[in-house]
Amino acid sequence: MAIPDRKTDIGPPHYEKHLPPIVKKNYGKWAYHEIPEPGVLLHVAESGDKLYSVRAASPRLLAITTIRNFADLADKYCDGYLRFTSRNNVEFLLTDQKKIEPLKKELADLGFPVGGMGNAISNIVHTQGWVHCHSSATDASGVVKSIMDELYPHFVDMKLPAKLRIAFACCLNMCGAVHCSDIAVLGVHTRPPRIDHADVPKVCEVPTLVASCPTGAIRPATVNDKPSIEIEDEQCMYCGNCYTVCPAVKINNAKTDGISIWVGGKVSNARHEPMFSKLAVPFLPNNPPRWPEVVSAVKNIVEVYAKNARKHERMGEWIERIGWPRFFKLTDIPFTRYHIDDFTHAGETFKRSAQLKH
Amino acid sequence: MAIPDRKTDIGPPHYEKHLPPIVKKNYGKWAYHEIPEPGVLLHVAESGDKLYSVRAASPRLLAITTIRNFADLADKYCDGYLRFTSRNNVEFLLTDQKKIEPLKKELADLGFPVGGMGNAISNIVHTQGWVHCHSSATDASGVVKSIMDELYPHFVDMKLPAKLRIAFACCLNMCGAVHCSDIAVLGVHTRPPRIDHADVPKVCEVPTLVASCPTGAIRPATVNDKPSIEIEDEQCMYCGNCYTVCPAVKINNAKTDGISIWVGGKVSNARHEPMFSKLAVPFLPNNPPRWPEVVSAVKNIVEVYAKNARKHERMGEWIERIGWPRFFKLTDIPFTRYHIDDFTHAGETFKRSAQLKH
Amino acid sequence: MTKKKTPATPLLDELEKGPWPSFIKEIKKEADRPMVQDLLGVLERSYEEHIGHWKHGGLVGVMGYGGGVIGRYSDLQEEFPEVAEFHTYRVNQPAAWFYTSKALREICDIWDEHGSGLTNMHGSTGDIIFLGSKTEALEPVFKKLTEKGWDLGGSGSDMRTPSCCVGPARCEWACYDTLNACYDVTQNYQDELHRPAFPYKFKFKFAGCPNDCVASVARSDMSVIGTWKDDIQVDQAKVQEYAKAGVDIQKEVCDLCPSDCMSWDGKTLDIDNGECVKCMHCINVLSKALKPGKERGATILIGAKAPIIGGALLSAVFVPFLEMEPPYEDIKELAEAIWDFWGEHGKNRERVGEFIQRVGLGTFLDQIGLDPVPEMISHPRANPYIFFQDEVVEGAQ
Amino acid sequence: MTKKKTPATPLLDELEKGPWPSFIKEIKKEADRPMVQDLLGVLERSYEEHIGHWKHGGLVGVMGYGGGVIGRYSDLQEEFPEVAEFHTYRVNQPAAWFYTSKALREICDIWDEHGSGLTNMHGSTGDIIFLGSKTEALEPVFKKLTEKGWDLGGSGSDMRTPSCCVGPARCEWACYDTLNACYDVTQNYQDELHRPAFPYKFKFKFAGCPNDCVASVARSDMSVIGTWKDDIQVDQAKVQEYAKAGVDIQKEVCDLCPSDCMSWDGKTLDIDNGECVKCMHCINVLSKALKPGKERGATILIGAKAPIIGGALLSAVFVPFLEMEPPYEDIKELAEAIWDFWGEHGKNRERVGEFIQRVGLGTFLDQIGLDPVPEMISHPRANPYIFFQDEVVEGAQ
Ligand code: SRM
Ligand code: SRM
Ligand code: SRM
Ligand code: SRM
Ligand code: SF4
Ligand code: SF4
Ligand code: SF4
Ligand code: SF4
Ligand code: SF4
Ligand code: SF4
Ligand code: SF4
Ligand code: SF4
């Protein structure tokens, strides 16, 4: 299927071309690591070689101007080698310890603090929001920026009981590991979609549309003599899947879209098996540009956790130890009917035992 | 609605009429208990009064002859007071310690051993089987008798790590707490029901019948010009619910009915929350009068548990500690596709973590 | 009665051997009755053929009652006419199964006269089961029973016979009066017990403490499990006695506490009672030294059932803590509210536990008039499929 | 390019304040481009109106590929014509996101010439995202990328861009070569990556150890998580150093071990390796003293996904332990067997994790040709609804 005259299917460049010499030399032969100071990771190889990784925060949405700045810094401080992390931070890979401070200084001047290591809050994994996506119930980068401005001290320090991973997604598609984060901030639609009956026959296939609804809320219907659909409002839980398959069914709603907060997920296998995040706050309004309600709700959860959890205890492990009733009490978050699952496996979340704290 | 000339709706006799004086006196004022010897329970009241309960095994199916024997023994040894337990044993309520031995002797002569207390195997909770029920995939009392003959030493002793509760049910209706037992022995049908098309229109309502099937395997059909149903064999998992609502759909099958074994359930809240029993052995044949395959499978599980569990550890707690792979290895029970859930919440039983023993 | 010959039962005879009491011996004790002879014949046949020989047929019962009798017929009526009809009665047991010898003899006498002479002491729900009655005997037996102060229990889509653990009658841990609550509820709902009017069966079980000696959490639509609110009562001197007697307090008690809220320094057993989940383990092991607290009551859980049809359920917390004083108004109000809502909207053969899952616990609570509390769940929802109500979202149209 | 004026963005400007790097500042760095000016205009509008202004439209892409480009259009095309088309490319990142400054500049130069100058470093799946391209620019950008040795990643119902943790390149715990495995699989399945032919997306993620630093268990259809089989390597002297340095080995390590298989007597850290579940916690805490064993490989888990449609899933164990040597034949065989079966029987938009639940894991294993092992489940079934196959029951007709 390749088209002549163009190269196709060559795949990404081989990673070896991008590895610094110290990494090539000690590949697979690292002995141990330390975090000599926040934002600086020291890896010592079996050979005795030392590699310093300086981790700088990134808004993820980067201008090429900034990427070129990073390239310049890499040239200046680490022979042109750097990498990005799985949480979208940038890491400069130094062999000369003395260069750490000057690099940090330059990064600070450019507006990129270092940190996010050890028992800290690292970058918020997030998504497109109003910058690019059609499904979004809120903006992504703006909420993330607002939260991280507030939680900044936990990025540059390492004073939390354990790592605390925050993720953000702007709709239920959850582009990211949002569903397994210590704190997940999630854009939610809260009203059934509105149907553009004129467009439905033009841009959508009715059977596909009907099939797309997980709760069976969509039924074929004839409107103005044209094939369209109707939605049983009571059965709709605003997942937006119908919108994904048919743009004429509009889920976005300026008045009723907003944000929910979920807590206690993790993905590592360390100590506790991976866990999903669970609902903490069902709904907060979209209040740009700073989303104060969301920021303070997240901050509250972080602070209560920081104060009460034991060392090495991730958010979910802490909550499991103290129990959900205590979590709601300590955080002063109201418990509502929305916290009670009513989807397919709801019954599995009921408390089926008399083991209770009274 | 009461019919004249007959008494109705009077309810059971008031329990107080049946309580021995020592119980009435110390009602709600017991201080502590001890098990001075297997089968004998001593309750000491705050008043200092002492009540000895001697617990004798019962086949549950009792002839009135035997019940009259018990009444006689009660008269002789404990002023005519006795009770039955929630596991169908009979308890003689003595105030005179010296009468324990003679009572035990007489019970032994009648064929009723005492025991089932403390860290022991008590009576098997069970059901009707071929003695009375139409749904049964096996006999109840016969299997129970065969198993208890073999496990008898664990009834009269108290050498197990903890209590071990065995329950038996002769079909998936599970009349008893079978689904939450340390060991559950369960009669199973393994083939779709056969339809008596001539009878269907006479004794059943087709819509009710169709609705009764949890997997939607039943469809209305016209057979020999009469309304009947057909069953999609591949969708049937032999629950027998259709048979319960319509006797013309026959689930019993002499060749393919048999027995399955389940382990690790509990109902008490002590230590671990209540748990369901999980599948250990999917199928063993009906082999009356002694069901040797079933007896030896149960015995094997008991012995492996007895040897490996820690003190106070119920079957399910032990398995949870060692993990299911180890359970299958230690008991030498083959692990099959049948052990893997494929019903509604199947996905919740998959191992969703890399925490494994290799 | 014509005296038939007891049939040869070589297979069943095998089950007379061995140390465990034999149900075959029991059956044979009444084998001078033709009905029992035929029962042995049918049963031996089942043992030969590996299949049961019973079938259900028309509904039978006593006048004015819809429940309490299970109709049963043999499918070998020609060969075994005496068990052509072989119904069971469910006779409501006294709370906690206490009997005087006199009461037992009364029952035996009635059953001797009219039935097989065989019983189950007791059925899995708790009733005294009279095993094997002809249709014609149903009314006479019922009449004699009620004359002596006995009544039938439940069957079909009604309230089933409630049962309870031995509780305060003989157990030091009972956190409320299980016998009284059981009796009171049974008496109060005689109509619901005897005249099926629910979508399906509804069972009550009363356990005095979280040890749950009637397995209520596994098999009752409403499980009433005793518990306490305040501190476990500790007699430190007696704890030390246990330690001296060889109990490894750290290992056997503290390490097994599910809420990890106990510590032992070799002298004092310290309990962080605010963290205790009332599991009973420490009290069970140190029975002379520890006792439940003094502020007692019960946790009400709802919805246990066997697998048919959507899979088995354990009961789920409904009211974390309720005081349990006669006349148990709260329990009754709750039960009635449930019966109303489930009665109106439950499907045929839908247990209340399944019903709750179908309509959603949130909706169910709304209808019953209870506030949601986090004690009701093991954890909040993980899926984002929330049905929002209008008032939640400001500015909603 | 015509120079437009950057619109007034009072709301967005608020987000230039504060210590965290500002995406608004980033956007403004490229604001000499009309496209970026219009982006700022649209975005400010969204901030005013609380709603996004993008819509999906027809599929766009590069010739011969079905994936790699996400088509995006503004619904305010009149007002903001420069973002009427505002597509993204997904450019396949190098394994573990290592770059030379030269490579970064290459990329920037291409994007400078043809696009918005805005990127995501990186997208959530791992790609380099070029944010904002007109349709006409798609081909030229693609041509320049491939000329320089770059290619597009996945989108739509194809294999998505695999990604991996930093692994052996910089981590002492990598149990296999994550970068190599990721690169090898990516190269091997270029066709599957670029030409959607599956029922839905399929993602690979490679994590070197159970810490799972790429969150593979939460968001990949095939999660390859490094692990080991033999004993944890312990340097007792170094353990003692940690103890001396103030680490409470008992509390911070032994007490938190999920399999409770460690003991510490103040001198020696004893590990019952047969019980160890390879969770990494002790190694994480005592990084200088402990190391994974020497017999290394990976656990293969299948089926993670976000909530749409049946609810989110974590991956589930598929192969408890697999050696991970190039050319990774086992992984490829597994993947291909899955693609075959799922490809044929999967519904449109049904992820493999959902598919397995629909057909049943037992059936799935049969088709893939794997034996069931108890490591695949957290516990055996509790419900008795077993679909028996004929051979199980002797005498079955
Ligand atoms: C650089 C990075 C991998 C990469 O390829 O990019 C990485 C690198 C390291 N991780 Fe990680 N982890 C990275 C993402 C993750 C993730 C994925 C995520 O956050 O989305 C996880 C799973 C998180 C979760 O469970 O939700 C993760 C869970 C861990 C853990 C287990 C923590 C726990 O106790 O649960 C460790 C062990 C530890 O920190 O002691 C760990 C340890 C490490 C070590 C110490 C490994 C080593 O010896 O080099 C590295 C430095 C840790 C640090 O930053 O404190 N890494 N680590 C990722 C940095 C992201 C960032 O910018 O912050
Ligand atoms: C008599 C009876 C209640 C009744 O009203 O009939 C009863 C009586 C006692 N139970 Fe029980 N339990 C009785 C059925 C149960 C059941 C229900 C069942 O088996 O179906 C359970 C739940 C079993 C389960 O979890 O599956 C039960 C779980 C307990 C426990 C918790 C055991 C555990 O560690 O999980 C205790 C505490 C203990 O034994 O230390 C307990 C303790 C006791 C004590 C010590 C209570 C006391 O202080 O009097 C009584 C003697 C125990 C013994 O036999 O060793 N009883 N006990 C029941 C005797 C049945 C029999 O004949 O064997
Ligand atoms: C007699 C008894 C078994 C025994 O040998 O003890 C019994 C016998 C029958 N049960 Fe049961 N159940 C008996 C206690 C139970 C229990 C245990 C309990 O109540 O604690 C359960 C499990 C708990 C529960 O309620 O879920 C139980 C769950 C069932 C079910 C499944 C109900 C479900 O929702 O899953 C059925 C099926 C049905 O209702 O159609 C059932 C149906 C039946 C029927 C009526 C069969 C039928 O299809 O019509 C059986 C009549 C047998 C016969 O020929 O005598 N029986 N049944 C028990 C009642 C005696 C008594 O009143 O004391
Ligand atoms: C760009 C990106 C978000 C980001 O800002 O980083 C993204 C963006 C979109 N995702 Fe995603 N997903 C992105 C990573 C993810 C991830 C995370 C991952 O891959 O690790 C997930 C969760 C994991 C998973 O696969 O389940 C994810 C789960 C979804 C889903 C839900 C899939 C599901 O099975 O539940 C959809 C809905 C769909 O497929 O129709 C979805 C759909 C979309 C669409 C294509 C929206 C749509 O309805 O067509 C978004 C286009 C946004 C735009 O305008 O640019 N996106 N999406 C990520 C891809 C960049 C890259 O290639 O590196
Ligand atoms: S989470 Fe939803 S709105 Fe956000 S980028 Fe993904 S698909 Fe778009
Ligand atoms: S938003 Fe989701 S639930 Fe509502 S109609 Fe659309 S697909 Fe159905
Ligand atoms: S378990 Fe089944 S066969 Fe046995 S008594 Fe109950 S309904 Fe009848
Ligand atoms: S036995 Fe169960 S699954 Fe099979 S047809 Fe009958 S109701 Fe359906
Ligand atoms: S449930 Fe509690 S109160 Fe009732 S008998 Fe058992 S231990 Fe005693
Ligand atoms: S009752 Fe259970 S939870 Fe409470 S202190 Fe005792 S062992 Fe711990
Ligand atoms: S997953 Fe393991 S091997 Fe990979 S970077 Fe994280 S800690 Fe290192
Ligand atoms: S790796 Fe985890 S399970 Fe294994 S010994 Fe260490 S802490 Fe325990």
Per-residue pLDDT tens for B13-34? 999 999 999 999 999 999 999 9
Task: Name the minimum distance, in Å, from the CA of A107 to any CA of chain B.
Answer: 38
The pLDDT of residue C395 is 53
Percent of chain A with pLDDT over 90: 94
- Mean pLDDT estimate for chain A: 96
* Percentage of chain D exceeding pLDDT 70: 98
Q: Rounded to the nearest whole angstrom, what is the distance from the C-alpha of residue C218 to the centroid of ligand 10? A: 21
Q: What six digits make up the tokens of B263?
A: 């382990």
Q: Which residues line ligand 2 (CB under 6 A)?
A: B 33, 41, 85-87, 89, 116-118, 122-123, 125, 162-163, 165, 177, 266-268, 270, 314; C 96, 165-166, 170-173, 211-213, 215, 284
pLDDT of the residue at C1: 44
Compute the average pLDDT of residues D330-337.
98
Rounded Cα–Cα distance for residues D305 and B13 (Å): 59
| Pocket flag, ligand 10, residue C289 (CB < 6 Å) | no
Q: pLDDT digit string (tens) for C283-322?
A: 999 999 999 999 999 999 999 999 988 899 999 999 999 9
Structure tokens at D186: 């990516």
Inter-chain contact C396–A355, Cβ cutoff 8 Å? Answer: no
Query: Whose CA is closest to C62, among C97, C104, C105, C91?
Result: C91
Is 80 exceeded by the pLDDT of residue A2?
no
Pairwise CA distance, residues D128 & D68, whole Å: 11
Chain-chain contact of A30 with D172 (C-beta, under 8 angstroms) = yes
Q: How confident is the model at residue A321 (pLDDT cuts 50, 70, 90)?
A: very high
pLDDT of residue D395: 52
Question: What is the rounded average pLDDT of the residues B70-90?
Answer: 98
Predicted pLDDT of residue C390: 73
pLDDT at residue D396, rounded to an integer: 46
B345: chain A residues, CB-CB within 8 Å? 345, 348
Of B260, B285, B346, nearest to D357 by CB-CB distance is B346
Round to whole Å and give the CA distance between A356 and C375: 7
> Helix H segments across chain C?
10-14, 23-29, 34-49, 101-114, 138-147, 178-188, 190-194, 216-219, 236-244, 281-285, 329-345, 352-359, 361-368
Residue B195 and residue B231 in contact, taking contact as beta carbons nearer than 8 Å: yes
Average pLDDT over residues C177-203: 97
CB-based contact, B276 to chain A, within 8 Å = no
Q: What pLDDT does D394 receive? A: 63
pLDDT of residue D3: 53
The tokens 């980068």 sit on which residue?
A141
pTM above 0.90, yes or no: yes
Q: Which helix (H) or strand (E) holds D99?
A: strand D98-100
Q: Is the pLDDT of residue D1 over 80?
A: no
pLDDT at D337 over 60: yes
Instruction: Return the ligand number nearest the Cα of D124.
Output: 4
pLDDT of residue A278: 98
From C80, C87, C78, C88, select the one nearest C39 (Cα to Cα).
C80
| pLDDT 10s digits, A186-217 | 999 999 999 999 999 988 999 999 999 989 99
Cβ–ligand 7 distance for B141 under 6 Å, the answer no
**Chain B closest-CA separation from residue A298 CA (Å):** 28
Q: Which of A334, D10, D91, C70 is nearest to B244 (CA)?
A: C70
Residues of A in contact with C394 (CB under 8 A): 285
Check pocket membership of C211 for ligand 9, CB cut-off 6 A. yes
Q: Is the pLDDT score of D59 beyond 90?
A: no
Q: Is pLDDT at C209 greater than 50 in this prediction?
A: yes
Instruction: Grade residue C3 by pLDDT with cuts at 50, 70 and 90.
Output: low
Q: What is the mean pLDDT of residues A258-281?
A: 98
Residue A3: is its pLDDT beyond 70? no
pLDDT tens string C90-138: 999 999 999 999 999 999 999 999 999 999 999 999 999 999 999 999 9
Residue C396 has pLDDT above 50, yes or no: no
Residues D133-147 pLDDT 10s: 999 999 999 999 999
Task: Please give the pLDDT value at position C357.
Answer: 96
Q: Which residues of C touch B148 (CB under 8 A)?
A: 20
CA distance linking residue D192 with residue D201, whole number of Å:
10
pLDDT bin (cut points 50, 70, 90) of residue B2 is very low
| C-beta B218 within 6 A of ligand 8 | yes
Mean pLDDT to the nearest integer, C364-383: 97
Tell me the pLDDT band of B4, cut-offs 50, 70 and 90: low
Task: State CA B92 to chain mean position distance.
Answer: 23
Q: How far apart are CA D290 and CA D173, in angstroms?
A: 10
pLDDT band at C394; cut points 50, 70, 90: low
> What percent of chain B is modeled with pLDDT above 70?
99
D31-58 burial code (b ≥16 CB/10 A, e <16):
bebbbbbbbbbbbbbbbeebbbbbebbe
Q: Which residues of D touch B325 (CB under 8 A)?
A: 373-375
In three state form, how does the secondary structure of C132-165 look? EECHHHHHHHHHHHHHCCCCECCCCCCECCCEEC
φ, ψ of residue D131 to 5 degrees: the values are -105, 105
* pLDDT at B139 > cutoff 80: yes
Provide the pLDDT confidence category of residue C250 given band limits of 50, 70 and 90.
Answer: very high
Residue A5, pLDDT > 80, answer no
∠ CA A116-A117-A121, nearest 5°, is 45
- Give the sign of the dihedral formed by CA A317, CA A320, CA A326, CA A331: positive
